Amino acid sequence: MTNLAKIDPFLYGYFLDENLEHGERVGLALLHASKNLQIRFSRQLLPDTSFVTESNSSGYSPSDGLWFSNENILKLAEEYPEHKATLLGYIQEINIFKNKSVMLNCEITDALNNSGAEWGGGWGGHSNPDYGRIINFGTDHIRGIIAENRDKHPDEAWFYRSCSYLLDAFDILGERYKEAALLMAETCNNEDDKNLLLRMAKAFQTVPKKPAYDFMSAMCSFMLVFALDGSDSPGRFDQYMYPCYEKTENKKEAIDLLDRLWEYFKDHRSWNLCISGSDENWNDESNELTYEILAMVRNKGYNTPNLTCRVHSNTPDKLWNAIADTLAVGTGLPALYNDNVVCPALEKLGIPPKDSHDYCMNGCNQIDILGKSHMGLEDGEVIFPKCLEFALHNGVDAMSGEKISVETGDPRTFTTYERFEQAFMDQLEFVTYNACSSANRWQHMRGVFQPHPLRSCLIEGCLEKGRDYRNGGPLYNHGQILAEGIADAGDSLYAVKKLVFDKKKYTMAELIDALNANFKGYEQLHHDFKNCEKFGNDIEEVDKITARALNRFFTVLKRNHTYRGGVFTGGCSPFNRVASYACKTAALPNGKLKGEPLFADSIAATPGRDTHGPTALMKSVLKYNHTNAGSGFVFQNKFEKKIFNTEKGKASFIALAKAFFAGGAQQYTVTVISPEDLIDAKEHPENHRNLIVRVGGYSDYFTNLTKELQDNVIQRTFMDM
């Protein structure tokens, strides 16, 4: 009889003792996986533990708690009939457990979500564990933290056992990789690869139990944990890897390893890697590795990982020049974040400067504190134009005709603009509260049913409190709900104010009739509303209205506490969903037609509506208070490549970015591209497979985008300097 531990070590480990706490059983499942799953190396000859997080025979993922696949287990039962009774028994328990988790979410109303007005929760989010804990201290150091704290929390003994199993799994994997590297070296015909394998085997004699001693050992330790955690976001890589990089005499070897790592990042679509920044005394933290990473991004020309560079008032000119040179390649990397705004924003949430200056990004551009927080990443979104649609139709979804939101009055009877704006604000508050409530139910479910011992070992607070990463363990547990379509709502509000209430050119009844008809038969009205002044052109009243709407959103968020133990904050990062949200929205007073896919894809203007140049656009965007945004607050520009092909053009960009940040901006990303390439790529995608653009908070290949997203990028205004 084939041993079940070999068939599926996750199932075997999890069901060893059904009387144990769920979290402890997850730890045991990981421990048995580390002993029994087949070791492999990536094509770059780096240790690759991603096999643990990929779907295996039972469909289990260690990041998702008890989400075994019944279908896959039934297939196992057919393949191994001698274990059929046991496996069918497993399914019964799994279903009971899953049903309990579903009960926590039974009150969630799908109507608002399905309408495209908001979503809350629904996925586990990205993360920024402190890989430096393993690299620079080792698993024995973490065991010391467990020993120091477990007696303080006797009721959480199961939690500490779960984390100890995870540390044991790391050590077992390290030992197995040592043996595998030695075995591969024996038959390796390539002398360089053979030497690499032998150096790797030597490194695994020390790591991960003990601190890494050079860049090779640091890389082995990093890969062991990073891949096991799903190859997500490396965080402040140039900071926690630099001590070992500095100790390495052979820098050529270190750069070779960095090159191999970048190929791994590309193969596994790794997410956000953050470089540079400042400490709490505003000293610049860029180092030699910072510049090597920028050079790697220039040389590779890949869209991943999503590189972020932190800048501040003391960023050296040398780094600014390296940033401009890297952007000139046309990958949209790096995205720039301003410490002078982000750190105060985090400090508003009660995060002290010593930790606020240790922020980084994950996923597209959500803000996290390296190894100290679970900040949602992200918890949900609220779509401003849909809230405006509800205000125009008294809580009715104009796309479906169903009443799904709160009643805020028939706008045909409103006699003042202030009354209409209040109806919009009431809709915005209702939808925002719903998103937070939904997110909290998901947070509760994940906190109880999806423990994560790996991140609990690598994020400060968890071992000290005796609480899991997903259940309030980290030091900081705020949430992030993102605002989308901000400018579309602001433009619509202003058009109503000007044309209906100020000039009285049209009545609310006429406007609503026109919207219901998708402007058919109301061509002059449509022309007037579509050509009304728009956000992004430094027009005071439009900008004030738009900023007022966003401020209300931020205020409502901070009234809502997260299940994990923080408050909600906000940002703007549409990812690739912006066109789908627009398609779910009816005709609007800014001239948008029903189902038309064009929405603002950042905090800037709706693409093509900013007509007064980059300075005017930036002045509009600076009417927002960027320190209210505790998550990524994406601002995007598009520049012609010829500008970045000259030293004068790059210098002009640097001056523009510095002025923008000095004015109080949080974030800045740019697409550097030739307009002819964009148009031709849509018609002849086969000729432009490597053309990269910024989408929401990340870079992607233009030919991978939907037609609607391609049109969004094309319609963005090219900036001149």
pLDDT digits (tens, 9 = 90+) for 367-382: 999 999 999 877 999 9
Instruction: Give the burial string for 576-593 (b: 16+ CB within 10 Å, else e).
Output: bbbbebbbbbbbbbbbbb
Under a CB-based contact definition with an 8 Å cutoff, are residues 308 and 274 in contact? yes
State the DSSP code for 646: S
Q: Specify the residue for token string 């994940």.
A: 446
Does 55 have pLDDT greater than 50? no
pLDDT at 575: 77
Report how far residue 395's alpha carbon sits from residue 391's, in angstroms, rounded to the nearest whole number. 6
Least confident residue range of 198-202, 613-617, 685-689, 717-721: 717-721
pLDDT at 543: 98
What sign does the CA torsion over 23, 28, 29, 33 have?
A: positive
Q: Tell how strand 629-633 and strand 568-572 pair up.
A: parallel
The token duo for 134 is: 């393993």
Does 563 have pLDDT greater than 80? yes
Report how far residue 61's alpha carbon sits from residue 58's, in angstroms, rounded to the nearest whole number. 9
Q: How does pLDDT run across 589-644, given as a tens digit for each residue?
A: 999 999 999 999 899 999 999 999 889 999 999 999 999 999 999 999 899 999 99
The percentage of the chain sitting over the pLDDT mark of 70, rounded to a whole number, equals 96
- The confidence band for 70, taking pLDDT boundaries of 50, 70 and 90, is confident
Q: What is the mean pLDDT of residues 443-456?
A: 90
Q: Which amino acid is at 430?
A: F
As a whole number of angstroms, the longest Cα–Cα distance in the chain is 85
pLDDT at 108: 44
The percentage of the chain sitting over the pLDDT mark of 90, rounded to a whole number, equals 77
Report how far residue 362's alpha carbon sits from residue 305's, in angstroms, rounded to the nearest whole number. 10
Helix H or strand E segment including 289:
helix 288-300
Domain residues of the chain, as ranges?
A: 4-111, 112-126+373-609, 271-362+635-721
Q: What is the mean pLDDT of residues 302-321?
A: 97
The token duo for 715 is: 């319609």
pLDDT at 107: 46
Closest CA to 430 of 397, 407, 403, 401: 407
State the average pLDDT for the chain: 93
State the DSSP code for 671: E
Q: What is the mean pLDDT of residues 45-55?
A: 75
Helical packing angle, 417-449 and 486-496, nearest 10°: 160
Under a CB-based contact definition with an 8 Å cutoff, are residues 495 and 590 in contact? yes
Under a CB-based contact definition with an 8 Å cutoff, are residues 567 and 479 in contact? yes
What sign does the CA torsion over 606, 610, 614, 616 have?
A: negative
Q: How does pLDDT run across 220-238, given as a tens digit for each residue?
A: 999 999 998 889 999 999 9
The token duo for 612 is: 């007064």
pLDDT at 440: 92
Does 556 have pLDDT greater than 90? yes
Residue 121's Cβ-side half-sphere holds a number of Cα atoms within 13 Å equal to 24
Does 101 have pLDDT greater than 50? yes
Residue 203: partners with Cβ closer than 8 Å, 6 or more residues away = 212, 214, 216, 217, 220, 221
Least confident residue range of 438-452, 491-505, 705-719: 705-719
Does 2 have pLDDT greater than 70? no
Report how far residue 556's alpha carbon sits from residue 551's, in angstroms, rounded to the nearest whole number. 9
Q: How does pLDDT run across 672-692, given as a tens digit for each residue?
A: 998 888 888 888 999 988 888
State the DSSP code for 689: T
Strand partners of residue 693: 700
Residue 445's Cβ-side half-sphere holds a number of Cα atoms within 13 Å equal to 26
Under a CB-based contact definition with an 8 Å cutoff, are residues 604 and 522 in contact? no
Does 709 have pLDDT greater than 90? no
pTM over 0.85: yes
Rg of the chain over all Cα atoms, to the nearest angstrom: 27
